[in-house]
Structure 1
Amino acid sequence: MRALHTAATGMMAQELNVQVISNNIANMRTTGYKRQRAEFQDLLYEHVKRVGTQTSEQGNILPAGIELGSGVKTVGTPRLMTQGPITTTGKETDVAIRGEGLFPITLPDGRTAYTRDGSFAIDATGRLVTAQGNLVQPTITVPANSTGLSVNVQGQVFVTPAGTTTPTQIGQIQLAVFINKSGLQGIGDNLFLETPSSGTPQLGTPSTLGYGSLLQNSLEQANVEAVSEISDLIAAQRAYEMNAKVVSAADQMLQSTTGMMR
């Protein structure tokens, strides 16, 4: 019976929907996380009677045909790259992006990744790195025994060298923007990779046209809203239950048909 297969596609779609929602909820406290949303489309139709076909020799046209759908499919789980709330941390190496852009990061294999997570640190050689130890691009090295690390809204990094009282610029943080930032590929560790869908990165200076500004001593939190996710979860659960009810009803109909043949 066709209804069994159709309802099964609905159950599988809602199962995936719940998985996406659960991942959003799990990452509610993940710095710079961007929530995902499951998107669906209907499957092919069987046209028993095509709308608009001629129904008589006098030229009558069928005003409404008979189309039997075959269910639903998942077409994507795009990320919603909206701004998350910014919280103050008080740590001088924490940097939040307010607006467009991502931090370029060098991976151990030499590839460039991108992140909204600005929870940086200083490694043993004085270089600015991520929580996993990956280098921030371009490389910024803090001199030994310097104090007063500061980052302004334009991404300029200053320190006060030992034996002086005058701040000195030691580097410039850059941001990368993409024509389709939702097309970036997530690889975990709060990192994204460039893809053919995202387009090539355009590097620029923070606080210039098209680029966000930086905020030191702060971090961007996940853009996940608990109330919205819970309501979506309830809706997905109810949709799954209704598709399961269709399977049960189709089974009862088949059982009745089988009983008539005995």
Structure 2
Amino acid sequence: MGFNASLSGISTANADLSVTANNIANVNTVGFKESRAEFANVLTATGYGLQNNAIGSGARLTNVAQQFSQGNIDQTGRSLDLAIAGEGFFTLNMNGSRVYSRAGNFQADKNGYVVNPQGARLQVYAPSADGTRFDGALTDLRLLSGDSAPRPTSQLELAFTLPANAKEPTITPFDPAVSNSYSHSSGGITVFDSLGVSHIQTSYFVKTANPNEWAVYNFVDGVPVNNGSVPGDPTATPPVPAVIGTPTLLQFSDSGALTTPADGKIPLGAFTPSTGAGQLAMSLDVSGSTQYGEKFNQHNTGQDGYASGKLNEINISEKGVVYARYSNGVDVALGQVALSNFNNPQGLLGEGNNLWSETFASGTPRTGAPDSSDLGQIQAGSLEASTVDLTQQLVNMITAQRNFQANAQMLSTQDQITQTVINIR
């Protein structure tokens, strides 16, 4: 009986050494969770009432439990390196099977899918059509590589201050080519057509004979876009001049506030680009304008269109939303990283390569968005380090070695006792 107990002690000490060796081997493995060898005593069955006299039969290995504690998060600066600060696992698709990992060293494959080093694809919630919601079915994350589409301008903003002491121009009628026929002009706003080609919108301000009243003429690439304007044709024989049309009247109160138009919106006539793009139908918002002082000042300009753009970078927020950022300032949401958690993470089946799979013991995965429920946040440009404490493992190694030596010495002692008994005459 003593021999068996010592042999079991040697076996458990050897198992403890093996677990420690595995931990030390993975001290630099991304997302690795250290393991702990767990043991139980072995007690030989005895008859009823004889338990007080029972002698144990040694020990046995009952479990190698992984410790799912938080590892240190190290900055890498690489956009597809992801770390989870808190609970949860990355959800991956490995050839149609769902697997889970804490290692976020992802990369893009030749088809643009975001994968781990073994080719398992990162799962995300697909975005809605407007990119504001992420509650659809899980799908593989795929990075965009093409240009973003342009957006034609529909709304313009122009804020200015007109001088209250302005006089009527000395030359009439208004002609944009004659500077003395208008009082002031805007610096020009760049607008875009449906093909992403830029054009310049310019406003000309003419002081009228009425107090606190101005006429504003609007042009795009030198073509009038006032009410009733008709583009000319300088290539015709003889050349056909443009019809400038009727200007929009701006009226101000005696305190300088804009009163007409009441909503500050000036509808611009249709402009047909020569690029083959569709007609531009725009509205100019001058609601922030005033009439003060003695000088013309332009305060603010803006418009809602943009040209096509090239992909600059991939950005991932703390909530796991993956954005493609383009050179034209547009962010396109590609999806939201899906995290999963389990009631019993230690019940997961280790698949190797930093992967785990669901088992009956782990329970059903709870999958959701980062930073929701009990799921952690995503830290992009970072990786979670191994949880192995090398100093602690070296101490464990020494302890297991001493246990091994002690059990071996116990075998030697029992052998000597047995030999003594055999030699009795």
TM-score normalised per structure 1? 0.90
How do 1:48-127 residues align onto structure 2 when only pairs under 5 Å count?
Answer: 50=49, 65-108=52-95, 110-127=96-113
Q: The residue matched to 1:71 in structure 2 has which SS?
A: strand
Query: 8 Å contact 2:43–2:54 — kept in the other structure?
Result: no
Q: Flag structure 1 segments of 5+ consecutive residues without an equivalent.
A: 53-64
The letter of the residue matching 2:56 is G
Paired residues in the alignment total 246
The aligned amino acid for 2:71 is G
Superposed displacement of residue 45, structure 1: 3.2
Cα deviation, residue 44, structure 1: 1.8
Q: How far apart, CA to CA, are the structure 1 residues paired with 2:12 and 2:30?
A: 29
Deviation digits for residues 46-95 of structure 1 (CA, Å, limit 9, x no counterpart): 5489469xxxxxxxxxxxx3221111111100110000001001111000
- Quick one: which amino acid aligns to residue 20 of structure 1? V
- The one-character-per-residue Cα deviations of 1:195-236 (angstroms, maximum 9, x if unpaired) are 111001010000112110000000001111011111111111
Q: CA deviation at 1:159?
A: 0.8
Structure 1 residue matching 2:334: 3-state secondary structure: strand
CA offsets 1:166-201 (integer angstroms, 9 cap, x no match):
111111101000000111111111000101110010
SS state at 1:114 partner: strand
Question: Do residues 144 (structure 1) and 130 (structure 2) align?
Answer: no
Which range moves more in the overlay, 240-249 or 123-132? Answer: 123-132
CA distance in structure 1 between the aligned counterparts of 2:79 and 2:43, rounded to whole angstroms: 56
Question: Which structure shows the higher strand fraction?
Answer: 2
The answer for the alignment partner of 2:374 in structure 1 is 210
Partner of 1:45: 44
Distance 1:142 1:67 in 2: 67
Partner AA of 1:239 in structure 2? N
> How large is the Cα RMSD of the aligned pairs?
1.5
CA distance in 1, matches of 2:47, 2:117: 59
Structure 2 residue 129 is the aligned partner of structure 1 residue 129: no
Gap change, CA 1:50 and 1:13, over 3 Å in 2: same
Structure 1 runs, 4 residues or longer, greater than 6 Å off: none
Task: For 1:147 and 1:167, locate their aligned partners in 2 and report how far apart those are by CA, in whole Å.
Answer: 10
Q: Which has the higher helix share?
A: 1
Q: Which runs of 5+ in 2 are unaligned?
A: 124-138, 147-310
Higher radius of gyration, 1 or 2: 2
Matching residue of 2:4: 5
1:165 partner amino acid:
G
Where does residue 133 of structure 2 map in the other structure?
none
Look up the SS of the partner of 1:260 in the other structure.
coil
Counterpart amino acid of residue 375 in structure 2: Y
Q: Percent identity?
A: 31
Contact 2:88/2:341 (CA < 8 Å) preserved in 1?
Answer: yes
Residue 225 (structure 1) aligned with residue 389 (structure 2)? yes
Farther off after superposition, 241-250 or 123-132: 123-132
